[in-house]
Amino acid sequence: MYSTVSMQLSFTMEFARYADAEQVCIEATGNRPYTGQGIRNYNNGTTLIRSVEDTAFYADKFLGGGVAYTLRGQEGDQSLEDIENKKLCEPGRRIFLLEVQTENRRKKWIWHGEYVYTGVYEEMIHPDVHGNPRRIYRVILRRLNPTV
């Protein structure tokens, strides 16, 4: 028997309290979210990514049915060989997206459910955290359909 939360893990859900978003993350991934990283790979084959759309030094973009997600690295050229970036792109890895937004100094958390890496990435020139041009990579993730 699935709990109400388990049945809804593939649906977009918005939370005003971090504790509620944390509970959904624990149920989906088996792990607590770590808010200090955009990509958090866990030993159990799951990854939690945190959207940073509208951040000047990343180029994340929500697409219809998916997301173009900028790999790890705020300064200088990014690397596909970075261990966290490589793990994110492993076949069979379960990827979950938790978006954090701030509006009028209030945070909200949006659970976007599960995604899968499509095997496609984009290479582009984009400013780093200091505004200097650098090479970045965006992986294309497709959202999985709800299972209920």
Question: How many structural domains are present in the chain?
Answer: 1
Return the amino acid letter for 3. Answer: S
pLDDT at 38: 83
pLDDT averages per 10-residue partition of the chain, 148 residues: 40 87 90 80 90 80 89 94 92 90 87 92 95 96 71
Query: For the domain that residue 91 is a member of, what is the CATH number?
Result: 2.30.280.20
Residues 34 and 10: their CA atoms lie apart, in Å, by 20
pLDDT given for residue 70 in this prediction:
93
Q: Is 148 within the bounds of a domain? A: no
What is the chain's mean pLDDT, rounded?
A: 85
Residues 6+ away with beta carbon under 8 Å from 85: 39, 71, 72, 73, 78, 79, 137
Q: What is the per-residue pLDDT across 105-115, written as a single tens digit (0 to 9) for each?
A: 888 889 999 99
Determine the structural domain holding residue 87 and report its residue range.
4-143
